[in-house]
Structure 1
């Protein structure tokens, strides 16, 4: 982790916090970084009380780790991968003075509230987690009453607030970065073809704001449904307006982009004339092979940290981590670094919102006072079926705007 004016040199602290260099790649993940849990409310496993949970570590500083360990479906898979990553972070941080109080929220708001209460009763100074947005809201109510901060994993910025910091991959970051880069490359008129989903509504709003911020023009915005007929209809409405556009924002995920790309291709869309743009959901091998968006740009964490992390995780747990696992790794590494260097102010607002930010497994990041996260992202290009970096992620985030 990297902090401003710390007693340890930055290089030593970064090595301690991150347990040697980490970078991001997608060999062990499914899909990109945008649209991860946060818009989905999750679902709880039926029946039973929230178990007391285990502890990890034996340090003086206690931190709650609230995760959906027994939620139904994918929630439990993600939750347990996050727990493993938290354990790995603590093991890799030399002399970490933390005890993690692991609590199962079962993927429900009620479970999250009970889990947070239990962690705070046991002396937690900070809550790491939960994962799902409704659970974050429930845990935040408890934490505010105890004047304790939360570092949660939801990507829904609506649940961020003062003292509730989202360590996640919000799609707004992706949109801002790719629109800014496209604008810097001379693109001034933008069209958009967005999914008619909760994710689509978020990225559409971010797209409109980002285009306006750059003094550019939004020519047309079309929405498409999940079926191919809806895709074809939306594309047919869109294509005539593309004569006035020099970029097309189309944030369609891996399960949608091949069919949508075919519809664009059949309608005569030419990516050599109108630059395709996307978000981190494009960071997938199947998307990279779609002919209609070759040459397209998208924003995502730099492709150099996750692979190193995933290799160590695989060796330790004999399984591949979920894509969100780095979030718990970074959260625990940050908590351990702050416990070592910041004394009684370790989890204060001024420390957590340090404008210099921190160096994590997915690159540099910082928390805003309103709880939202800003990340340093790379711009990548789909080139001949491969994903290549065309503009590297920044090493620092510069002054706040």
Structure 2
């Protein structure tokens, strides 16, 4: 994990989350990547000299290949990147991907009668990946998906451009603006985990929106434990580090702390919801479908194996 450099604060939060799951002294050894590919390579080499059974991390997509190359076939790598392209031999990508959340919310929307969806892509990596995932699901879900590219800072298209639903893959101001524009149109707002916002003013604006997210109950339990033990608030990325450490602890208890052990488990119950590892290095996740309301997010369904 990065313990120095521009992402040191995030790295420290993730290390603390991992230690919350695995608090036996000596079980977790932290190596600083500095947030660079070269630093990750050096950290992996140092880890292998300590004869580790599994590597948790690295954080960034560009760090995964160097770490996986050093680890080889004998030591699995649970990378925290959400870039599917970061998969490498021996490495699994545990980050929550745009494809996972987009597939989950579109499957739910289709089950509720949504047929035509406009996806607003603002040029960000996440939004582009979500738009591509939505387009790829058209045949499978019998959806009509239209991509609308909007430059950052430009106004959103009129609500009438989306007959049934509008999917805003990102978060922040674009989601708030779309929610306000769609409030009285009868057009359903769809969102991904990026749009989760627990501020009362935001919840009021988002009321009625459907979003795909990690299971809120499981995450709330982790978040409360993190705040009580470590202080401060924990985000989704920190929860993924907690999950990785909890998974290794489970496998150690079964004397199966290796790739075969990871693949043999039908499901791991984690702070971000049930997940399982696939042979190709991807992770299948159960995603919660939540509806925003003035008092928070209510879970209404589960999308399995995204």
Contact 2:116/2:143, CA 8 A, preserved across alignment: yes
Q: Which residue, out of 69, 81, 94, partners 1:141?
A: 69
Contact 2:263/2:279, CA 8 A, preserved across alignment: yes
Q: RMSD of aligned C-alpha atoms? A: 2.3
Evaluate the alpha carbon distance shift between residue 303 and residue 231 of structure 1 in structure 2; reply closer, same or farther with a 3 A threshold.
Answer: same
Note the C-alpha offset of 1:383: 3.1
Contact 1:97/1:340, CA 8 A, preserved across alignment: no
Evaluate the alpha carbon distance shift between residue 87 and residue 173 of structure 1 in structure 2; reply closer, same or farther with a 3 A threshold.
Answer: same
Deviates more, 1:148-157 or 1:271-280: 271-280
Evaluate the alpha carbon distance shift between residue 383 and residue 97 of structure 1 in structure 2; reply closer, same or farther with a 3 A threshold.
Answer: closer
Contact 2:68/2:88, CA 8 A, preserved across alignment: no
- Write the mapping of 1:306-385 to structure 2, written as runs, cut at 5 A: 306-343=219-256, 346-348=257-259, 350-354=260-264, 356-384=266-294
Note the C-alpha offset of 1:312: 2.1
Q: Which has the larger radius of gyration?
A: 1
Q: Which residue, out of 70, 73, 84, partners 2:4?
A: 70
Tell whether 2:140 aligns with 1:222: no
| TM-score for the superposition, normalised by structure 1 | 0.70
Contact 2:126/2:169, CA 8 A, preserved across alignment: no
Contact 1:272/1:295, CA 8 A, preserved across alignment: no
Q: Per-residue CA shift, 1:192-224, capped at 9, x if unaligned?
A: 222211111111111112233212222x21111
Please identify runs of 4+ aligned residues in structure 1 that moved more than 6 A: none
Equivalent in the alignment of 2:155? 231
> What secondary structure is seen at the aligned counterpart in 2 of 1:213?
helix
- Write the mapping of 1:40-79 to structure 2, written as runs, cut at 5 A: 67-72=1-6, 75-79=7-11
In 2, Cα distance between the equivalents of 1:256 and 1:374? Answer: 29
Note the C-alpha offset of 1:153: 0.5
Equivalent in the alignment of 1:101? 29
In 2, Cα distance between the equivalents of 1:241 and 1:326? Answer: 37
- Write the mapping of 1:107-122 to structure 2, written as runs, cut at 5 A: 107-122=35-50
Q: Which residue, out of 301, 306, 315, partners 2:214?
A: 301
Tell whether 2:116 aligns with 1:198: no
Evaluate the alpha carbon distance shift between residue 334 and residue 386 of structure 1 in structure 2; reply closer, same or farther with a 3 A threshold.
Answer: closer
> What secondary structure is seen at the aligned counterpart in 1 of 2:19?
helix
Q: Which residue, out of 239, 250, 272, partners 2:168?
A: 250
Q: Which residue, out of 188, 193, 211, partners 2:115?
A: 188
Evaluate the alpha carbon distance shift between residue 340 and residue 261 of structure 1 in structure 2; reply closer, same or farther with a 3 A threshold.
Answer: closer
Q: Which has the higher contact order (CA 8 A, sep 6+)?
A: 1
Evaluate the alpha carbon distance shift between residue 319 and residue 249 of structure 1 in structure 2; reply closer, same or farther with a 3 A threshold.
Answer: closer
Q: Per-residue CA shift, 1:269-328, capped at 9, x if unaligned?
A: 4565321111111211354332xx542211101211222222222222233334322212
Note the C-alpha offset of 1:176: 0.7
Contact 2:105/2:212, CA 8 A, preserved across alignment: yes
> What secondary structure is seen at the aligned counterpart in 1 of 2:59?
coil
Q: Per-residue CA shift, 1:14-66, capped at 9, x if unaligned?
A: xxxxxxxxxxxxxxxxxxxxxxxxxxxxxxxxxxxxxxxxxxxxxxxxxxxxx
Evaluate the alpha carbon distance shift between residue 103 and residue 192 of structure 1 in structure 2; reply closer, same or farther with a 3 A threshold.
Answer: same
Note the C-alpha offset of 1:76: 1.1
Contact 2:215/2:271, CA 8 A, preserved across alignment: no
